[in-house]
Amino acid sequence: MIETAKKWINEHKGFVNYFLISCFVTVLDIAVSFGLEKCLVLFFEADASKAALAGNAAGVITGFIVQYFLCTKKVYAGSNAKTLIIFFLTWLLSLGLAEGIIYVVRTLIFKDADGVVYFLVGKAFSIVIPFFFTYFLRKALIPSKPDEKNEEKNVQEGAGNE
């Protein structure tokens, strides 16, 4: 089983790196959002709703920047203006998709019900669906690292020999 997992990870190295980076960025986003919101309320006596908006914006922007730099080092062939533009536009699409999912889940499915479970269900779908959408869209638009392409080619050739 461990060998199978290792083989799968090696065959899908770009996806695994993208997934791990996305998990890290999600934790970073939450930490920045929460930390800034609490700082603004406690130290600057900001209105809680305005502090939540500022914290969320800072978390999302920080996450985007960190994800771009990590992905251009570990997943994609490098950073250039075209990659940055594609990354930014796909991020905007993903953000819109996430907002739409939150709206559908919280408003249409759960009829504006309040509670942690409803929040978590909406949040989970708004993270998972845009993750896959963005990954596959970026994979189609941004060149992978050269070693990733060679590994995929070798795996495909090996599969044909069996």
pLDDT digits (tens, 9 = 90+) for 1-39: 899 999 999 999 999 999 999 999 999 999 998 899 899
| Same domain for 71 and 44 | yes
Predicted confidence at residue 64, as pLDDT, reads 94
| 121 — pLDDT class (breaks 50, 70, 90) | confident
| Same domain for 30 and 86 | no
| Same domain for 82 and 34 | no
| 162 — pLDDT class (breaks 50, 70, 90) | very low
In a domain, 152, yes or no: no
What is the average pLDDT across 57-70?
93
Predicted confidence at residue 153, as pLDDT, reads 53
Q: Let me know if 46 is exposed, middle or buried by CB neighbors in 10 A (0-12, 13-18, 19+).
A: middle
CB 41 within 8 A of CB 51: yes
Alpha carbon distance 116, 120 (integer Å) = 6
In a domain, 43, yes or no: yes
* Least confident range of 8-17, 113-122, 133-142, 151-160: 151-160
Predicted confidence at residue 27, as pLDDT, reads 93
Write out the residue range of the structural domain in which residue 69 sits: 1-75
More confident residue, 108 or 132: 132
Q: What value does the mean pLDDT of the chain take?
A: 86
Strand locations in the chain (E):
none
Alpha carbon distance 75, 144 (integer Å) = 6
| Same domain for 104 and 52 | no
In the chain, the N- to C-terminal Cα span, in Å, equals 20
| Same domain for 60 and 4 | yes
Predicted confidence at residue 76, as pLDDT, reads 92
- Percent of the chain whose pLDDT exceeds 70: 90
